[in-house]
Amino acid sequence: MTRAQYLQGHSPGRVSDSGLNAFLDRVVARVSFPVTSALMNRRGIVGTYRSLKRTEQASAGELRALQLTRLRRQIAYAARYVPWYRRRFGEIGLDPRDIRSLEDASVIPPLTREDVIENYRDMVDERFRESIAKAESSTRDAGQPIPLALFRRHRLVRNNSSGSTGAPTLFFEDGSVTGLNWALELRLKSWFGVHPGAREARMVRLSTQYVSGGSVNNWRKHLWHQLILPGVNLRDRDYEFCTLALEEYRPLVIWGFTGALTGLADYMRRRGSTPSGIRPRMTIGWAAPVYEHEKALLEEVFGCPATNIYGSREVGHIALKCPHDQFHVNQEFMFVETGEPSDEVDCPPGAGELLATTLVRTPMPFIRYRMGDIARLAPSSCECGRTLEVLEEFVGRTGEIFTTRDGRMIPPNFWCRLFMAREIPGAVNRFQVMYRNDKNIEVRIARGPGFTSETEGYLNKVMRENFAPATEWEIKYVEEIKPAISGKYLMVYREGQTNEKSP
């Protein structure tokens, strides 16, 4: 794509005037972003951000006291209104009033992905059953508020997870998870000296779904200072498009799936130079760890620090990496514990599988949710001075991203979307994808009641559109897909990375 082609159909970039820019940033931060977010069901972003800035100065003891208050409230809420937790607490004879310290939570058995997949309807506040039914029958895309499915003053959002293990997880939220995530991202940016309202590019869309210059993308650019870019299944021409768009928009923050960010940086390095107009203050990798070599690449190409968010779609952002390279836990909204030391991977001393508990979540709390990642929790002695506890010796899930022969990235989410597509309702009960060492792909499918003679044609068509021409794949139909010894279902794994030993 040439520059002229790119500029056709695009609104011109903003005149570069630092005084005007600073003014517009303030308008976005104080007016257009919070007001339109509230209209879109995501309330309290600015207020939450302000409270986060206060509590991150608190002492470790004060933070734990705040966590305990919120944990007790969350457990009491779950016991009172959420049938699944009521049963589970009943089975172990737990009265929520028995929780007198954070450590007391350890009597509650960990929540697995399987629990959520099998019981999600029962894991939502029972007063809103009708709304859940409406949300389930809605044809809206995942992540969109559903008009008739009310939860108090909010509209319910149905979403599914992009995790790397297990079948996709359905969950419901009232818009507060997205709102909280954005407040937490404002916190992370503030750690790097980036103010609210600063222009940001977000590499998030599937490249095949991305429509440049679409109306939603345009208003986000102006009202939220967010430039939306493709971030999944990218090829060189997508990277070129991203480069031109970034040159024009000049964001201070580039946010994206880790693989998209590093793919873009790699593309720019292969081209020989970073375009002069792109001078971000930070890059933020999401949905996968930013490994050392990736961090070095990003910092070299963009000339600014590269940071990382740890979390999941179901529970939200758990920890943020500060300028001193420490993962600080968002303790005000999340209680994190380490479970039993894992025998599935070489576990560093004191480390174990992370369990996450949401502290202010309605209508579907997650209590001691198994994250599938290994780390050690430690009090902060970070040079940045923040008291929020830290995750050390972090071992993220690996082997989830597949790079095709022509450099396209296939993240786990691609498979979730493919097999849960509206075009093939109920066709796939469970699936498993193995990336072979010869760069070909094996797909195993346990068929569901909706499987028809047209299903395979649809799957082949979408895969053909997204893979490199030379990539071969094989679909195998199986009666069932068995969990690994750990009890988890691996959705995606690499040949040779034994099914049983994956973290």
Cα–Cα distance between 450 and 453 in angstroms, integer? 10
Closest to Zn ion by CB, 55 vs 429, is 55
The 10 Å Cβ neighbour count of residue 274 is 18
Cα–Cα distance between 94 and 90 in angstroms, integer? 6
Closest CB 64 distance from Zn ion, rounded Å: 18
**Is there binding between residue 60 and Zn ion (CB under 5 A)?**
no
Rule CB under 5 A: choose which of 382, 401, 445, 490 binds Zn ion: 382
Closest CB 323 distance from Zn ion, rounded Å: 7
Closest CB 289 distance from Zn ion, rounded Å: 17
Closest CB 298 distance from Zn ion, rounded Å: 19
Closest CB 192 distance from Zn ion, rounded Å: 11
What's the N-to-C CA distance of the chain in angstroms? 41
The SS3 of residue 272 is coil
Rule CB under 5 A: choose which of 24, 66, 142, 384 binds Zn ion: 384
Measured at the CA of 46, the angle between CA 363 and CA 189, to 5 degrees, comes to 105
Q: Is-contact 264 241, C-beta < 8 A? A: no
Closest to Zn ion by CB, 371 vs 390, is 390
- Helix orientation angle between 455-466 and 412-419, rounded to the nearest 10 degrees: 150
Q: Where are the alpha helices (DSSP H) in 225-287?
A: 236-249, 258-271
Dihedral angle sign, alpha carbons of residues 450, 456, 461, 464: positive
Closest CB 78 distance from Zn ion, rounded Å: 32
Q: Tell me which DSSP letter residue 34 carries.
A: H
Cα–Cα distance between 274 and 255 in angstroms, integer? 17
Closest to Zn ion by CB, 191 vs 415, is 191
Closest to Zn ion by CB, 367 vs 382, is 382
Closest to Zn ion by CB, 123 vs 377, is 377
Closest CB 391 distance from Zn ion, rounded Å: 11
Residue with the two structure tokens 């309807």: 121
Cα–Cα distance between 242 and 11 in angstroms, integer? 16
Closest to Zn ion by CB, 187 vs 386, is 386
Closest CB 324 distance from Zn ion, rounded Å: 5
What is the pattern of x (binds Zn ion, CB under 5 A) and - over residues 158-187? ------------------------------
Closest CB 384 distance from Zn ion, rounded Å: 3
Closest to Zn ion by CB, 326 vs 471, is 326
Closest to Zn ion by CB, 81 vs 192, is 192
What is the pattern of x (binds Zn ion, CB under 5 A) and - over residues 275-314? ----------------------------------------
**Which positions ≥6 away from 476 have C-beta within 8 Å?**
442, 443, 444, 445
Site residues (CB under 5 A) for Zn ion, limited to 309-338: 322, 324, 326
Residue with the two structure tokens 């500060």: 322
Q: Is-contact 250 277, C-beta < 8 A? A: yes
Tell me the β-bridge partners of 391: 327, 377
What is the pattern of x (binds Zn ion, CB under 5 A) and - over residues 199-238? ----------------------------------------
Q: Which residues bind Zn ion (CB under 5 A)?
A: 322, 324, 326, 382, 384, 386
